[in-house]
Amino acid sequence: MKAFAVRVFVIVFALLIIALNALAQRGENNLVEPPRKEVTQPKRLSGKVLQELGLTQEQIQKIRAVNQKMRPALRQAVAKLREANRELDEAIYADEVNEAVVTEKLQKLQVAQAEVTRLRIQLELEFRKILTAEQLEKFRQFRQRGPRIKAPLPPM
């Protein structure tokens, strides 16, 4: 159960950073304004949450820089994960199943999952370093209040 909660937090956190990056590119002055609703935007990342965190322009710029620095590696890792998942699926449902190939593809998938998780945690940690103690406490409260839904991988 803890592992699931950590995964949900990591995914939501990555989505938050992506949303903040998009807002930073729009050039807001003091506080982050609520993002426009889009089909891909998860409900947990409401404009209210972003606004109530009270991020400064400097914090937004730092988050944007971290996101831009890590985005290529995360995109590549997610692409490898999708490819590994596709290969495993093909191995499982091949006309003639070969358990050794399935095991090999499973190991490749596990390595790819570990890399995506490592990068997301690294991204989350960098974001955490940018928040003040007060902002961190608010963010924790938002996480506790929100429903524990399974969020999709962020679009890459």
* pLDDT value at residue 43: 36
Q: How confident is the model at residue 2 (pLDDT cuts 50, 70, 90)?
A: low
pLDDT in tens, 24-75: 444 444 444 444 433 333 333 455 666 788 988 898 899 889 999 999 999 9
The SS3 of residue 146 is: coil
Long-range Cβ contacts of 1-6 (<8 Å, 24+ apart): 5/148
- Mean pLDDT for 136-147 is 82
* pLDDT value at residue 93: 96
Query: Kindly report the CA angle at 60 between 58 and 65, in degrees rounded to 5?
Result: 95
pLDDT in tens, 100-116: 999 999 999 999 999 99
* pLDDT value at residue 29: 42
Tell which wins on pLDDT, 23 or 150.
23
Helix (H) or strand (E) holding 60: helix 57-92
pTM: 0.61
Q: Would you tell me the crossing angle of helices 99-130 and 2-26 to the nearest 10 degrees?
A: 60
